[in-house]
Amino acid sequence: MSDTLSDNYNIWYIERDEKDWDLQLFKVDSTVNSNRNEYYMSFTMDGSMYFSSNVGALSDRHHNFNIYKSKYRNDVFQKAIPMGESNNTKDYEADVFIAPNESISFCVA
Protein backbone atom coordinates (compact mmCIF):
# COMPACT_ATOMS: atom_id res chain seq x y z
CA MET A 1 0.00 0.00 0.00
CA SER A 2 1.14 3.54 -0.64
CA ASP A 3 1.96 6.03 2.08
CA THR A 4 -1.26 7.94 1.35
CA LEU A 5 -3.72 5.03 1.30
CA SER A 6 -4.36 2.41 3.93
CA ASP A 7 -7.00 -0.04 5.05
CA ASN A 8 -7.74 1.91 8.23
CA TYR A 9 -9.11 5.37 8.95
CA ASN A 10 -6.68 8.20 9.60
CA ILE A 11 -6.97 11.91 10.30
CA TRP A 12 -6.09 14.31 7.50
CA TYR A 13 -6.48 18.08 7.30
CA ILE A 14 -6.18 21.09 5.03
CA GLU A 15 -5.04 24.58 6.01
CA ARG A 16 -6.68 27.95 5.56
CA ASP A 17 -5.17 31.42 5.54
CA GLU A 18 -7.11 34.68 5.88
CA LYS A 19 -8.65 34.26 2.41
CA ASP A 20 -8.57 30.75 1.05
CA TRP A 21 -8.36 27.06 1.80
CA ASP A 22 -5.15 25.33 0.75
CA LEU A 23 -5.82 22.50 -1.68
CA GLN A 24 -3.03 20.35 -0.27
CA LEU A 25 -4.08 17.49 1.97
CA PHE A 26 -1.92 16.73 5.03
CA LYS A 27 -1.94 13.46 6.96
CA VAL A 28 -1.37 13.81 10.70
CA ASP A 29 1.69 11.80 11.74
CA SER A 30 1.97 8.92 14.20
CA THR A 31 1.54 11.21 17.22
CA VAL A 32 -2.17 10.85 16.37
CA ASN A 33 -2.63 8.26 13.62
CA SER A 34 -1.90 4.60 14.31
CA ASN A 35 -2.20 1.33 12.46
CA ARG A 36 -5.79 1.18 13.77
CA ASN A 37 -8.64 3.67 13.24
CA GLU A 38 -8.79 7.36 14.19
CA TYR A 39 -11.67 9.65 13.28
CA TYR A 40 -14.41 12.08 14.42
CA MET A 41 -12.12 14.88 15.45
CA SER A 42 -13.01 18.18 17.08
CA PHE A 43 -10.67 21.14 17.57
CA THR A 44 -10.29 23.76 20.30
CA MET A 45 -9.28 27.40 19.99
CA ASP A 46 -5.66 26.57 20.82
CA GLY A 47 -5.57 23.96 18.03
CA SER A 48 -5.75 20.90 20.27
CA MET A 49 -7.53 17.95 18.72
CA TYR A 50 -9.94 15.54 20.37
CA PHE A 51 -10.69 12.39 18.40
CA SER A 52 -11.75 8.75 18.64
CA SER A 53 -9.42 5.80 18.21
CA ASN A 54 -9.50 2.05 18.70
CA VAL A 55 -5.70 1.86 19.03
CA GLY A 56 -6.03 0.49 22.57
CA ALA A 57 -8.78 -2.02 21.80
CA LEU A 58 -8.18 -5.74 21.93
CA SER A 59 -8.15 -7.38 18.51
CA ASP A 60 -11.46 -9.14 19.23
CA ARG A 61 -13.05 -5.80 20.32
CA HIS A 62 -12.10 -3.64 17.35
CA HIS A 63 -15.27 -1.55 17.77
CA ASN A 64 -14.14 -0.41 21.23
CA PHE A 65 -13.21 3.24 20.61
CA ASN A 66 -12.02 5.76 23.19
CA ILE A 67 -11.49 9.51 23.16
CA TYR A 68 -7.97 10.93 22.89
CA LYS A 69 -6.47 14.42 22.98
CA SER A 70 -3.47 15.77 21.11
CA LYS A 71 -2.28 19.26 22.03
CA TYR A 72 -1.05 21.51 19.24
CA ARG A 73 2.28 23.15 20.12
CA ASN A 74 4.97 24.74 17.95
CA ASP A 75 2.96 23.95 14.80
CA VAL A 76 2.83 20.18 15.45
CA PHE A 77 0.43 17.81 17.16
CA GLN A 78 1.83 16.26 20.33
CA LYS A 79 1.57 12.60 21.27
CA ALA A 80 -2.09 11.76 21.80
CA ILE A 81 -3.19 10.73 25.26
CA PRO A 82 -6.42 8.93 26.17
CA MET A 83 -8.95 10.87 28.18
CA GLY A 84 -9.63 9.61 31.70
CA GLU A 85 -12.24 7.20 32.99
CA SER A 86 -14.85 9.97 33.21
CA ASN A 87 -14.81 10.01 29.38
CA ASN A 88 -13.68 6.51 28.41
CA THR A 89 -15.25 3.24 29.45
CA LYS A 90 -14.86 -0.37 28.35
CA ASP A 91 -17.52 0.36 25.71
CA TYR A 92 -17.68 2.54 22.60
CA GLU A 93 -16.97 6.29 22.79
CA ALA A 94 -16.73 8.22 19.54
CA ASP A 95 -18.13 11.15 17.57
CA VAL A 96 -16.39 13.73 19.76
CA PHE A 97 -17.78 17.26 19.99
CA ILE A 98 -16.06 19.89 22.11
CA ALA A 99 -16.62 23.60 22.58
CA PRO A 100 -13.73 25.70 21.19
CA ASN A 101 -12.89 26.89 24.73
CA GLU A 102 -13.21 23.31 26.12
CA SER A 103 -16.04 24.37 28.42
CA ILE A 104 -18.24 21.46 27.37
CA SER A 105 -17.77 18.21 25.51
CA PHE A 106 -19.78 15.15 24.65
CA CYS A 107 -19.70 12.15 22.44
CA VAL A 108 -22.40 10.34 20.54
CA ALA A 109 -22.34 6.58 20.84
How confident is the prediction along the chain (109 residues), in pLDDT tens digits per residue? 345 555 679 999 888 888 888 888 889 999 999 999 999 999 999 999 999 999 988 877 767 899 999 999 998 999 999 998 888 888 888 888 888 998 877 766 6
pTM for the full predicted model: 0.82
pLDDT of residue 6: 58
The strand pair at 72-73 and 76-77 is best described as: antiparallel
pLDDT of residue 90: 82
For the chain, the structural domain boundaries read 12-107
Is 91 in contact with 64 (CB distance < 8 Å)?
Answer: yes
49 vs 34: CA distance, rounded Å: 15
Q: Which of 48, 58, 30 is nearest to 100 (CA)?
A: 48
Three-state DSSP at 25 gives: coil
Is 49 in contact with 96 (CB distance < 8 Å)?
Answer: no
pLDDT of residue 1: 39
pLDDT of residue 60: 72
Is 11 in contact with 39 (CB distance < 8 Å)?
Answer: yes
pLDDT of residue 64: 85
